[in-house]
Amino acid sequence: MTNTIDWTAIVRDLLVGRTQTELQEITGVHQGVISDLNRGLPKPQLTYTYGSALMKAHEELCQAKEPEEA
């Protein structure tokens, strides 16, 4: 069984309320790569560095959305 990551969904979540250029500044991922992923284009050669940066930013976004427990 192969687990695949939906990079398009991750990038689209990260782009809510910010531009591709702003996301580039946050993650270090080139704006052209962000644009391709946002459009749903496959990036089979996505580097570990870029993937890791996007995953980290998405994880931080998800944690920020969770309601704080009292």
Domain boundary assignment for the chain: 7-64
Note the pLDDT of residue 38. 98
Residue 56 corresponds to which tokens in the numbers above? 């980290």
CA distance 31 to 52: 16
Cα distances from 49 to residues 52, 59, 65, 68, in angstroms, run: 5, 15, 25, 30
**32-65 burial, b for 16+ CB within 10 Å, e for fewer?**
ebbebbbeeeeeeebeeebeebbeebbeeeeeee
| Residue for token pair 């496959």 | 42
pTM of the model: 0.85
pLDDT in tens, 39-54: 999 888 999 999 999 9
Note the pLDDT of residue 6. 94
